[in-house]
Chain A
Amino acid sequence: ILNVEQSPQSLHVQEGDSTNFTCSFPSSNFYALHWYRWETAKSPEALFVMTLNGDEKKKGRISATLNTKEGYSYLYIKGSQPEDSATYLCALGAGSYQLTFGKGTKLSVIP
């Protein structure tokens, strides 16, 4: 069983602040790293799927980077808004058929 660690577990930020979270994973057998956004009472939705070392992806105010050699990925949110409040999950694909999820980082944006 692979160990995917996310930090912090939770954080509160003021509206307008920028923030970032970390996902750490074993770098051996790396295939892909996923980020999902999960709002309360909804289902997780994909933000990014990254496969290459050094990959950077961006969607609006949210971006992510990937370092497969040292086994980490960062998710950045610029200028947080209340609608960014959610749990952010990362998941490691090591081999084609299974994803191992971290426990998530719960973000609360205070208006």
Chain B
Amino acid sequence: NAGVTQTPKFQVLKTGQSMTLQCAQDMNHEYMSWYRQDPGMGLRLIHYSVGAGITDQGEVPNGYNVSRSTTEDFPLRLLSAAPSQTSVYFCASSRTGTGGNEAFFGQGTRLTVV
């Protein structure tokens, strides 16, 4: 019963480095999304995908890229890490668009950029 799996759980990057946060779901969900959680703020949507080959920007997309080549996987790429990207990142999936369907969240990735 894997659900949504995120890797890694923790990561420390130096400013300017790039990396990819991995997200995979085994529920055949169409919709996948990435959020970031910062102290004193609600979860904010970075990017989302409504199906393989289709992605779109959320509220805070700058500095991040995504792609969706398969239904199962939705990686998030940081192109050139900045201290402002220090955050906890959550991947989520739902059967269709999250408006009317509950979201299933991964365990989160705690990223620190120094």
* Interchain CA distance A42-B40 in the complex, whole Å: 18
Query: Once bound together, how far apart are the Cα atoms of A72 and B44, in whole Å?
Result: 21
Question: Which of the residues A97, A102, A104 comes within 8 Å of B99, measured between beta carbons?
Answer: A97
A74 within 8 Å of B (CB atoms): no
Q: Which residues of A contact B33 (CB under 8 A)?
A: 99
A98 to B57, CA, bound (A): 10
Size of B's binding interface in residues, CB under 8 A: 29
- Residues of B close to A46: CB separation below 8 A: 102-104
CB–CB A97/B48 < 8 A = yes
Chain A positions within 8 Å of B105 at CB level: 43-45
Known: A43-B107, A101-B42, A102-B42. A96 touches B99 (CB 8 A): yes
Q: Does B87 contact A (CB under 8 A)?
A: no
- A43's partner among B40, B41, B100, B108 (CB-CB below 8 A) is B108
A104 to chain B: which residues have CB within 8 Å?
A: 42
- Contact residues in B for A45 (Cβ distance below 8 Å): 105
CB contacts (< 8 Å) of A42 on chain B: these are 107
In the complex, are the beta carbons of B58 and A98 less than 8 A apart? yes
A105 to B104, CA, bound (A): 20
Q: Which of A88-111 contact B (CB under 8 A)?
A: 89, 91, 93-104
24 residue pairs A–B, Cβ–Cβ below 8 Å: A36-B103, A43-B4, A43-B90, A44-B105, A51-B100, A89-B42, A89-B43, A93-B97, A93-B100, A96-B97, A96-B98, A96-B100, A98-B45, A98-B58, A98-B59, A98-B99, A99-B98, A99-B99, A100-B42, A100-B45, A101-B42, A101-B44, A102-B42, A103-B41
Instruction: Tell me the smallest distance from the CB of B41 to a CB of chain A, in Å.
Output: 7
